[in-house]
Chain A
C-alpha cells in the first residue's frame, strides 16, 4: 500500500483543525512515461506531416524548374545537332544528347512544363466538372440514375484505354491530352461528390435546412461545398499524379503529346530504340517524372492524413 505516514484519524467534525501533518498522505506515483512536447506553427505542422513537407518541397522545385527552364543553363530543347548525336553525359551536355543531337538536359527541364501543365490542368478541370456532375447527381433524383450509369460505363473502361481511344479521334496536342485524360477522370470526382452529398443530406442539420425551405444553392454553398473541399483536394492531387502518368504513357506509346514538344514521355519514347546502349536518354526523364509523381502522391497522402482523417483510415 502506498502509505507514507499513518496518522491518528481525524477527529469527528474537526475539519478546520486538519493540516497535512494530521492526515495520511499518499505516496507520490512515478511517471511511467514523459510527455512529449509538440511544436506549434508551420514548422511543427510540417514536422508532423513529413509527407506534405517532402512532397510540397519537391513539387515546388519542379514548378520552379518548369517556370525558370530558360534560365537554368539550358539550350534550345528542339535544336538539332546531328554531329553531336548520342553523346554520353558530359560537362557540355549534362544529360547527354539524343539521336538527333538535342540536349537531353534542356529537353528534360522543358519537359517539366508539359507534365505539370497536364497534371494541374486535368486535376482542375476534372474537379470542376466532376463537382458539377456530382452535385446534379446528388440533388436531382431523376438525373441521378442516368448519370451514374454513364459514370459506371466510363469507369469500366480503363482510363489509359479511354484516353487512347479519345486521342485516336483527335490530333495530338497538349490541350487534347488534357481533355482526354479529364474525361477519363471525371467519374471518380463525380462519384466522390455524389457520395458526400448523399451522406450529408442524411445529416440532421442539412435535413433541417431542407425542411425549413432553404434554397438548394444556399444549401450547396453553406453545407455541401465546405464538406466536399477536403476530400476533393485530396482526390485532385491523386488525379494530378495519375494524369501525369497517363500523359507519359500516352506519349511513350505515341498517342499523346506531339513528338515535336519535349515531354518526358516523348523523350523516353525517342530513347526507346537505343535504351540498351544509351540508357541515359530514358533514365533522366524517368527520374524526373518519377520524382514529380512521387511528390504529388506524397502531398496527396499528407493532405489526406491532415484534412480527412476518416478517409485516411479507409485507404
Chain B
C-alpha cells in the first residue's frame, strides 16, 4: 500500500514536468521583452541589455528552465509584470473565493448528480430517465455564463433571493458567504452535474445487468438496497474517476463564472492577467490549477481501494 502510494506519486512527476515545460515555454515564447518593459520607455538599448543580463534572460533555455523549476518547487512563482508583487502572494489573496466556489459546486453536483443518474438507470427508458438525459445534454450545451445570467436575472434581479454579484469572505459570516455563492455554484454545477449523472447512469445500467444484482433480487432485497448498496458500490470506481476528470471542467468554468458574478477570485486574476499580458501571473495560475487537478486525480486513484476490495496495492 505504502509502496503503491509512493509509486503513484512518483508517476505524477513526469506529468507535472510536461505541464511545467509547457508553462515555461509560454513565458519563453511570449512576445514582448520583459527587460524592455521593466526598463521603461526612457531606457537605452544598453540599459535593456543590462537588465536582461541581470534577470538572466540571456542564458540558454534549459538553464533557465531548470532555475525556474527550482524556484517553483521552493514556492517562488515569479513577480507580476504589472503589479510588481510576487505571483504567489497574488494567488494567495485570490484563492479563497475560487476554492469556496469549487468546493460548494463539487458538493452540490455530487449530491444531485449521483442520485439522478441512479434513478435514471433504475427507470431506464421511462420519463424520469428521459428527463435526466435531456437535462444532461442541456447541461453540456448551455454555456456556464448563459446559465449564470439566466439564474442571476430571475433569482437575483427578479426575485431578489440572492445577491446579484460579488463575494463575502467566510470570515464575515457563513450565511452571507453562502448566499453569494449559491447562484454561481448552481451555474457552474450544471455541466458537472450533467457529466456525473451521465456516467452514473451508464455505469449503473451496466452494473444492474450483472448476475450479482439478480442474486440480490432473488434474496428479496428491496429496490433501494439493490440500487444504493449492491449496485452503486460497484459503480463507484468509474463514477469517482469521472468526478476527478470533471474537475478540469470545474476549473475552466470557474474562471468564467467568476467574471459573470464579479467574484474576485483566481478566475478574475487570470482574466485581468490576460488583458494585461501579465505572463508570470498566467503561468502561476495555470500551474496551480494543473497541480490541483493532478493532485485531485491522484487522491481519487488512491481512494479506489475504499470502494473495491479487489483493488489491493
Contacts and interface: CB of A to CB of B under 8 A. Distances in A.
B137 A297 contact: yes
Interface of B: 14-19, 21-23, 26, 29-31, 137-138, 140-146, 149, 153, 157, 164, 198-199, 202, 205-206, 248-249, 251-253, 255-256, 259, 270-271, 273-275, 277, 279, 282-283, 285-286, 289-290, 293-294, 297
17 contacts: A153-B14, A155-B248, A156-B19, A157-B22, A158-B248, A158-B251, A158-B289, A159-B248, A160-B256, A164-B255, A165-B22, A168-B26, A241-B140, A249-B145, A254-B271, A255-B271, A314-B206
A290 B290 contact: no
A166 B198 CA distance: 31
Contact of A294 (B22, B141, B144): B141
A157 B22 CA distance: 10
Contacts of A268: 145-146
Nearest to A286: B146
Interface in A67-113: none
A7 to B, nearest CB: 43
Interface of A: 149-150, 152-162, 164-170, 241, 245-246, 248-249, 252-255, 268, 275-276, 279, 282-283, 286, 289-290, 293-294, 297-298, 301, 313-315
Determine which residue in A168, A245, A275, A301 has the highest number of CB atoms from chain B within 10 A of its CB, and name it. Answer: A168
B310 to A, nearest CB: 20
Nearest to A167: B274
Q: Chain A interface mostly helix, strand, loop or mixed? A: helix
Contact of B14 (A149, A166, A276, A297): A149
B137 A164 contact: no
Contact of A156 (B29, B30, B142, B293): B293
Contact of B149 (A282, A293, A313, A314): A282
A159 B22 CA distance: 13
A241 B286 CA distance: 23
Given A153-B14, A290-B146, A161 B255 contact: yes
A168 B277 CA distance: 7
Contact of A153 (B18, B248, B270, B289): B18
Contacts of A293: 140-143
Given A161-B255, A253-B256, A153 B15 contact: yes
Contacts of B153: 275, 279
A286 B143 contact: yes
B189 to A, nearest CB: 16
What are the 8 closest A-B residue pairs judged by CB atoms, nearest first?
A153-B18, A160-B252, A294-B141, A158-B248, A293-B141, A286-B146, A158-B251, A158-B252
A158 B145 CA distance: 17
Contacts of B273: 168
Nearest to A276: B157
Interface of B is mostly: helix
Contacts of A153: 14-19, 21-22
Contacts of B143: 245, 248-249, 252, 286, 289-290, 293
A283 B144 CA distance: 13
Nearest to A254: B275
B202 A165 contact: no
Contact of B140 (A253, A279, A282, A297): A297
Given A165-B286, A289-B146, A290-B141, A154 B22 contact: yes
B289 A161 contact: yes
Contacts of B23: 165
A275 B271 contact: no
Contacts of B164: 276
Question: Which of B141, B202, B275, B285 is packed against the most chain A CB atoms within 10 Å?
Answer: B141
Given A153-B18, A276-B164, A254 B145 contact: no
Which of A156, A255, A279, A314: most chain B CB closer than 10 A?
A156
Given A164-B270, A276-B157, 20 more contacts: A149-B18, A150-B18, A153-B16, A153-B19, A156-B294, A157-B289, A158-B293, A159-B248, A160-B252, A160-B256, A161-B255, A168-B277, A169-B30, A252-B256, A253-B274, A276-B164, A282-B149, A294-B141, A313-B206, A314-B202
B282 A165 contact: yes
A279 B297 CA distance: 39
Contacts of B141: 241, 290, 293-294, 297
A286 B274 contact: no
A166 B23 CA distance: 10
Contacts of B251: 158, 161
A165 to B, nearest CB: 5
B138 A169 contact: no
B138 A294 contact: yes
B199 A156 contact: no
Contacts of A283: 149
A298 B137 contact: yes
A290 B142 contact: yes
Contacts of B290: 156-158, 161
